[in-house]
């Protein structure tokens, strides 16, 4: 099937009632014996979020917002792909496919889609925005077999843009979205004018081991911290995704704790995840894992592709925006080893891993500045 079908969200009220019942019967562990987040998600922070989730959070608000943007589903390579599609009224708008990562979802882009499609400044660059949910994420289908790694997803996105009738387009992504977008760049499909990453992918070389460059030293330090203290989730999901999947699909508290830890560590905040994102924003994202029960299927992408990211070269025009609290900062020299035709590079003074979510205005400015050099 190659038809594009309208997708309207209307979660049965019974599912929301069942969730409320689970939140009313939590079996809490004892408080962590440390004062920081070094042992994981703090009990007080999670209890605060769950209390808000149970009493004040309104899923129907998020549901209405997604429906208002425009949701669609189309079958590609045997799998239903869900996507948001905001078509600009501007005749000169450039089609853009924008890809989220883990533990994100298409809700990362709710604060940027309208401005990208209908700029407040009539002279600013406009885009037709296509935001797909990765296979096994959100309301996309869950692969029943193996093989849905970043290269296959990249090929599916190329097919999606062709199916929508876009003959010239650009691609953007962060986290897994950066890996998929890099793979699109490696494919260099006809019509793709260039790519932009907000998680520039780069690895150190032998010459970097003795470097005194402050940017290289910072990147090496952050890489060491990630490997030692921040990568347990990826090791579990890339080796035994099914095992953690039972908890993520069955327990809303387990799912929220798994995601909230990364919101805390990966955003540019002053000590609390709520410094950067609201509880509504975080819960909107958690609900896109809870409602379609994608904790296991989303984790399997790590099993498919973790450790294979950034291999190969991209020769089409590419750009990158380096946000200061990125989990794995990569100096420009590292990035240019993969993006060999880097036409745009900018280092920003604020923002973290979830660039569009955390800094929507800066993010939109970065995309316009980058893609203006390509089209």
Set 85, 128, 264, 353: catalytic member = 353
CA dist 118 and 145 (Å) reads 40
How many Cα atoms within 13 Å fall on the side-chain side of residue 294? 25
Pair type for strands 127-132 and 94-99: parallel
Set 57, 128, 175, 289: catalytic member = 175
For residue 254, say if its preceding peptide bond is cis, omega within 30 degrees of 0.
no
Pair type for strands 127-132 and 79-86: antiparallel
In the residue annotation, 302 being an active-site residue is answered as yes
CA dist 25 and 247 (Å) reads 16
Residue with tokens 């004018």: 193
CA dist 146 and 153 (Å) reads 12
* Residue 286 near residue 279, CB atoms below 8 Å: no
In the residue annotation, 128 being an active-site residue is answered as no
In the residue annotation, 246 being an active-site residue is answered as no
CA dist 181 and 29 (Å) reads 40
Which are the catalytic amino acids?
A: 175, 302, 353
């Amino acid at each position: 099937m190659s038809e594009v079908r309208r997708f309207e969200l209307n979660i049965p009220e019974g599912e929301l009632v069942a969730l409320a019942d689970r939140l009313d019967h939590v079996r809490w562990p004892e408080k962590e014996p440390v004062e920081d987040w070094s042992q994981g998600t703090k009990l007080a922070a999670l209890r605060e979020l769950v209390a808000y989730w149970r009493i004040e959070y309104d899923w129907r608000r998020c549901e209405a917002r997604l429906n208002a943007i425009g949701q669609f589903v189309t079958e590609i390579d045997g799998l239903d792909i869900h996507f948001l599609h905001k078509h600009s009224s501007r005749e000169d708008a450039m089609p853009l496919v924008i890809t989220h990562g883990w533990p994100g979802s298409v809700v990362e882009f709710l604060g940027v889609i309208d401005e990208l499609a209908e700029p407040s400044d009539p002279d600013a660059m406009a885009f037709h925005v296509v935001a797909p949910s990765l296979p096994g994420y959100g309301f996309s289908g869950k692969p029943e077999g193996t093989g849905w790694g970043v290269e296959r997803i990249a090929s599916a996105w190329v097919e999606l843009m062709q199916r929508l009738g876009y003959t010239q387009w650009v691609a953007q992504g962060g986290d897994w979205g950066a890996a998929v977008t890099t793979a699109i760049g490696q494919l260099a499909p006809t019509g793709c004018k260039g790519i932009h990453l907000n998680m520039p992918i780069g690895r150190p070389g032998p010459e970097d081991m003795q470097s005194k460059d402050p940017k290289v030293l910072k990147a090496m330090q952050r890489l060491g911290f990630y490997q030692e203290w921040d990568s347990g989730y990826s090791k579990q999901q890339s080796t035994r995704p099914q095992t953690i999947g039972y908890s993520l699909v069955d327990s809303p508290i387990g799912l929220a704790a798994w995601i909230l830890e990364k919101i805390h560590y990966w955003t540019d905040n002053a000590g609390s995840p709520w410094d950067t994102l609201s509880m509504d924003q975080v819960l909107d994202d958690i609900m896109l894992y809870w409602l379609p029960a994608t904790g296991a299927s989303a984790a399997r992408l790590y099993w498919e592709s973790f450790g294979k990211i950034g291999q190969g070269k991209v020769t089409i025009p590419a750009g990158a925006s380096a946000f200061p609290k990125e989990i794995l900062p990569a100096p420009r020299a590292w990035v240019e080893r993969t993006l060999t035709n880097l036409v745009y590079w900018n280092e920003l003074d604020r923002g973290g891993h979830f660039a569009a979510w955390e800094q929507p205005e800066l993010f939109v400015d970065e995309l316009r500045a980058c893609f203006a050099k390509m089209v």
